[in-house]
Structure 1
Amino acid sequence: MSLPEWITKLKDKNIEIHKRGNNYYAYRITSVYDPIKKRSKKITKEYLGKITPDGIIPPKYKRDLQSVGVLEGGNISLINHFAQGIRKPLFEIYGTDAESILASAIIKLAYGAPIKRFQFHYERSILSHIYPNAHLSKNTVSELLDAVGSNLHNQRNFFEYLSKSSSYMAVDLTHIFSDSNKMGINELGYNPDHIWNPQINLLLIWAIDNHHPAFFKVLPGSINSVSSLINGIKESGLKNVIVVGDKGFFSAENIEMLENSQIHYIIALQRTLPFLKYPGDSAYKHYFIYRNSLQWWREEDVSGRRVIIYKDKAIAAEEEKVFFQKGKEVGVSEQEYRKTRNRFGTLAVITDLGDSPERIYELYKGRKDIENAFYALKHGIDCDKTWMQDAIKLRGFFFIAFISLYLYTRILDHLSRKGLLSEYSVPDVLSYLSSVHVVETGGMRFWSDIPKSCKELIEKLEISITQKL
């Protein structure tokens, strides 16, 4: 449906426009995850009113309450609860700019909004009371990004604070496409999607034990190698960083570069590498339990390096079944089966760490956290494409996005510890709580009635979302 310009100015991802006759009407919508259908479903939350060139005319019952202000509060209150752990270092490092940084990061997480809408969401939520000295107009945010992006020393001080209590760090790279033609760091580069577009690379270091990001660096799009990882790790100044790589990362050259730089590694190995041996099950004499799954293991010394082979017999049985199912279609000889059967259910890793095989396995599996973090950064926090026209502003922008990601992971970790991830995702929780409002009237502020579904969620979270105003 083609809409007049005076209507498109009001259009937002949470506002749906309906046309009836010659008139246009606005509705507030949201989406929640349906665990039964395993997909998101749209929910119409409220009728906002008739749209005119002068704006939205609320329905009569709302016009009767013009003296009453209603602010979004539940979602902001939850995010701000998890922001308390980084308030002190941000205020110590950034002074009065800390309010604008935190408010911007919270808006980015809560709404995925572009910079031009920061002020809109700030004024219509309790953020304007939590951080009254934040300045979020388009121009002031642009100045903020310049200030933050140009001072890498301050960023490093903040990263050092985040890394203090974690014993091990993992590192990885991802790409983000950019259509800007003025930055100079977005370059044609290789990526796993095999798309040859201008892109930026992001290096992210992850606190494995604490489940949160600890450092990031923006790199030119053409840089995607072990040397860029090594340089990023050195620049971070962080200790105990581990390169946790998948099977495509391994090569003798890469291992030597990491060892020469004294950087720890855990790298998965392709099952078909000639130096890997696969004896029968009786050779796996040790085991541990990981997330209710029995993991058997054995060790080998390969040219003076430590190789651990894990075997999950439940996965082995499943892979064997799939092997024969495919064999019915294409034909499999008994010789081929004998050659491959002992590989089923195995994972081999090469590492320079002296930790126990169980700890090595946990650290390797922690790689999934950083992959999920990249997904959240590029999709949930709406950073997959950037139209920034200035490299310094871009670094400032991603510092804001980094803090949003940190807050996202804090909520995610809380949901995991409370056993709620099978019911709610982070976007689900924020969507539900966005319907919990603060009412302003007569110089007073108080929480409105809380919907039953939100009450149940708040009880499960065991966090005082509706604290005293």
Structure 2
Amino acid sequence: MEEWVNNWLAKQRELGEKGLEIKKFSNGHYVYRSTTYWDKELKKRRKKSVYIGKLDINKGLIESQKTVISSKRVRSIWEYGNAALLNYAIQDLKPLLQTAFGEIWEEVYALALIRIAGYVPLKRANLAWEKLYPIEEITPSMNPKNLSKVLKEVGINRKGQNHVFSGLNSEDKQLVYDLSAIFTRSEAINFAEKGYNKEHFHIPQVNFALFCTANDNLPTMVRILPGSVRDVKSLALSVQEIGVENKTLILDRGFYSQGSIKTLNEHKLSFVIPTKRNSTLYNEQINLSEHFFYHERLIKCGKKEYGGNILYLFEDSEMKKEEEYTLYKQHDENKITSKTFNKGLEKAGKILLVSNVDLAPENVFLMYKKRDTVEKHYDTYKSILEADKLYLQDNESLFGHIFISFLSLYGYVKIQNCIRKANLTSKYSPRDLIEQFRKVYMMDLDGKMIFTEVPKKIGEMEKKLNLKLFPK
């Protein structure tokens, strides 16, 4: 123990305090009052400790405001491996959350952390948090009623949310942008309106716009929109809100229209957007005079100026074979007309992109393909959002929930990036890692903190991932 801790304890004993015991967890010192009692079943004396409070070098004893817990409920073993992994995933958000949300930042941090592995309802949040070793030495109030209030406070604090978004605005020059929706029948959420969705459900919905960096796939912003709003104007407002400049936005085919392209140019936003397969722009003559290889596939390419923008045409040799095979089979089975067959052959294997940036075709193609990985994260995000929708009774709670889920997604992707860099994506998902690392515990043996053995497989995984989570 440090000298100041021993001096404090000695002084308390001089004052007549008996049975005081100090336990060190990570870098924190916690005070307990220990006594013994006779255990009738075991027929021997046993130790009982009651938590009093935390010891501070300047303030002295900071007494606990919480209900005293009997020794039978004092936890002496914690999940360390997954706690360390989850903390690694969102630890760089900590300073942003401290500034943005002040007194409630610990609750925001804790709730986002425990939901990285999947949805945890508010009524089980405290149980999930107590199992984890307190690496960050924070003491959030995880009571369900308190967390409900936190969600509302976060939801109405758009300034705080924007502080986080601005802090995540990386040097990556490319952002992937997309819109999706969650459905709700809550009449108190007036953002919920009937609108377009891929499932063609005629149920009130809330749209959310998500920005992700193209290179590391990390989410940088989420914005909530009324269910009926689904045009590119919302994109321009979102960009203005966080001040994104000098970025190229990679959009989904669903955003393509002449009106959208006009709006993007008017707001001086750089973009790359694929045209729809029935677009008349495919009739433009573009010479496929260049080529490159993408994942061992031959890609022929060319570009052409058109109406102040640039058309980029690509022909994927493997995709062309697959689409031609399908077209011939459908034609032979009389499933498509000759007209559809001929038009399909003209576009087989072709991808047409529109952009207002002049780059080498290969660079534009690589930007477009970065959407593939990011789109998988949208599915993860929606699964978290959908899980809680029945318990959201007003706009403020909805906004707070969407922001907390955004933070959890950030942590999930952070772990996913570690797996990807280690070339282990075919073997593990972030949830797989969290479950594996859960096997490493920290135990309190009479005030001495001891690690359980790190299984060989987990040790090898930690080394490959270059995480350095376990003390040597």
Tell me which interval the TM-score lies in, with the shorter structure as reference length: 0.7 to 0.9
Kindly state the Cα deviation for residue 465 of structure 1 after the two structures are TM-superposed.
Answer: 2.5
Gaps of 5+ in 2: 1-70
Residues in 1 aligned to 2:120 and 2:341: alpha-carbon distance in whole angstroms = 54
Q: State how 1:68-87 maps to structure 2 within 5 Å.
A: 69-87=76-94
1:430 to 431, 434, 440: 434
1:214 to 213, 220, 229: 220
1:276 is paired with a residue whose SS is: helix
Identify the residue that residue 409 of structure 2 maps to in structure 1: 405
Kindly state the Cα deviation for residue 195 of structure 1 after the two structures are TM-superposed.
Answer: 0.7
1:147 is paired with a residue whose SS is: helix
Q: State how 1:263-342 maps to structure 2 within 5 Å.
A: 263-277=269-283, 283-330=287-334, 340-342=344-346
Q: Let me know the Cα RMSD of the aligned residues.
A: 2.7
Q: State how 1:60-71 maps to structure 2 within 5 Å.
A: 69-71=76-78
Q: State how 1:131-210 maps to structure 2 within 5 Å.
A: 131-210=137-216
Q: 1:163-207 deviations in whole A, cap 9, x for unaligned?
A: 132212222111011232212212222211001112211111112
Q: 1:255-304 deviations in whole A, cap 9, x for unaligned?
A: 21222222222221234433324779xx4221223333332211123333
Is the Cα–Cα contact under 8 Å of residues 185 and 200 in structure 1 kept in the other structure? Answer: yes
1:324 is paired with a residue whose SS is: helix
Identify the residue that residue 444 of structure 2 maps to in structure 1: 440
Stretch of structure 1 that moved more, 98-107 or 256-265: 256-265
Kindly state the Cα deviation for residue 226 of structure 1 after the two structures are TM-superposed.
Answer: 2.0
Stretch of structure 1 that moved more, 310-319 or 258-267: 258-267
Q: 1:55-94 deviations in whole A, cap 9, x for unaligned?
A: xxxxxxxxxx978733222222112112232222222333
Q: State how 1:82-93 maps to structure 2 within 5 Å.
A: 82-93=89-100
Q: 1:389-438 deviations in whole A, cap 9, x for unaligned?
A: 12122212222111111111111111111101011111211122222222
Is the Cα–Cα contact under 8 Å of residues 174 and 249 in structure 2 kept in the other structure? Answer: no
Q: Which amino acid letter does the alignment assign opposite residue 224 of structure 1?
A: R
Identity of aligned residues (%): 26
Tell me whether 1:252 sits opposite 2:238 in the alignment: no
Tell me whether 1:130 sits opposite 2:136 in the alignment: yes
When normalised by structure 1's length, the TM-score is: 0.78
Stretch of structure 1 that moved more, 371-380 or 92-101: 92-101
Is the Cα–Cα contact under 8 Å of residues 200 and 221 in structure 1 kept in the other structure? Answer: yes
1:330 is paired with a residue whose SS is: coil
When normalised by structure 2's length, the TM-score is: 0.78
Is the Cα–Cα contact under 8 Å of residues 178 and 252 in structure 2 kept in the other structure? Answer: no
Tell me whether 1:97 sits opposite 2:101 in the alignment: no
2:299 is paired with a residue whose SS is: strand
Count of aligned residue pairs for this structure pair: 401
1:378 is paired with a residue whose SS is: helix
Residues in 2 aligned to 1:332 and 1:103: alpha-carbon distance in whole angstroms = 55
* 1:176/1:462 CA distance change after superposition, 3 Å: same
Kindly state the Cα deviation for residue 251 of structure 1 after the two structures are TM-superposed.
Answer: 1.8
Kindly state the Cα deviation for residue 242 of structure 1 after the two structures are TM-superposed.
Answer: 4.3
Is the Cα–Cα contact under 8 Å of residues 179 and 387 in structure 1 kept in the other structure? Answer: no
Stretch of structure 1 that moved more, 357-366 or 117-126: 357-366
Residues in 2 aligned to 1:206 and 1:218: alpha-carbon distance in whole angstroms = 15
2:301 is paired with a residue whose SS is: strand
Residues in 2 aligned to 1:201 and 1:246: alpha-carbon distance in whole angstroms = 15
Kindly state the Cα deviation for residue 244 of structure 1 after the two structures are TM-superposed.
Answer: 3.0
Gaps of 5+ in 1: 1-64
Is the Cα–Cα contact under 8 Å of residues 289 and 295 in structure 1 kept in the other structure? Answer: yes
Residues in 2 aligned to 1:333 and 1:390: alpha-carbon distance in whole angstroms = 51
Identify the residue that residue 454 of structure 1 maps to in structure 2: 458
Q: Which amino acid letter does the alignment assign opposite residue 307 of structure 2?
A: S
Is the Cα–Cα contact under 8 Å of residues 300 and 307 in structure 1 kept in the other structure? Answer: yes
Q: Which amino acid letter does the alignment assign opposite residue 103 of structure 1?
A: A
Q: State how 1:205-244 maps to structure 2 within 5 Å.
A: 205-244=211-250
Tell me whether 1:364 sits opposite 2:368 in the alignment: yes
Residues in 1 aligned to 2:284 and 2:342: alpha-carbon distance in whole angstroms = 11
Residues in 2 aligned to 1:248 and 1:384: alpha-carbon distance in whole angstroms = 27
Is the Cα–Cα contact under 8 Å of residues 180 and 387 in structure 1 kept in the other structure? Answer: no
Residues in 1 aligned to 2:152 and 2:337: alpha-carbon distance in whole angstroms = 65
Is the Cα–Cα contact under 8 Å of residues 192 and 226 in structure 2 kept in the other structure? Answer: yes
Residues in 1 aligned to 2:426 and 2:89: alpha-carbon distance in whole angstroms = 21
Residues in 1 aligned to 2:173 and 2:249: alpha-carbon distance in whole angstroms = 14
* 1:364/1:132 CA distance change after superposition, 3 Å: same
Residues in 1 aligned to 2:192 and 2:336: alpha-carbon distance in whole angstroms = 48
Residues in 1 aligned to 2:118 and 2:255: alpha-carbon distance in whole angstroms = 36
Is the Cα–Cα contact under 8 Å of residues 209 and 222 in structure 2 kept in the other structure? Answer: yes
Residues in 2 aligned to 1:77 and 1:132: alpha-carbon distance in whole angstroms = 14
Stretch of structure 1 that moved more, 206-215 or 326-335: 326-335
Stretch of structure 1 that moved more, 156-165 or 140-149: 140-149
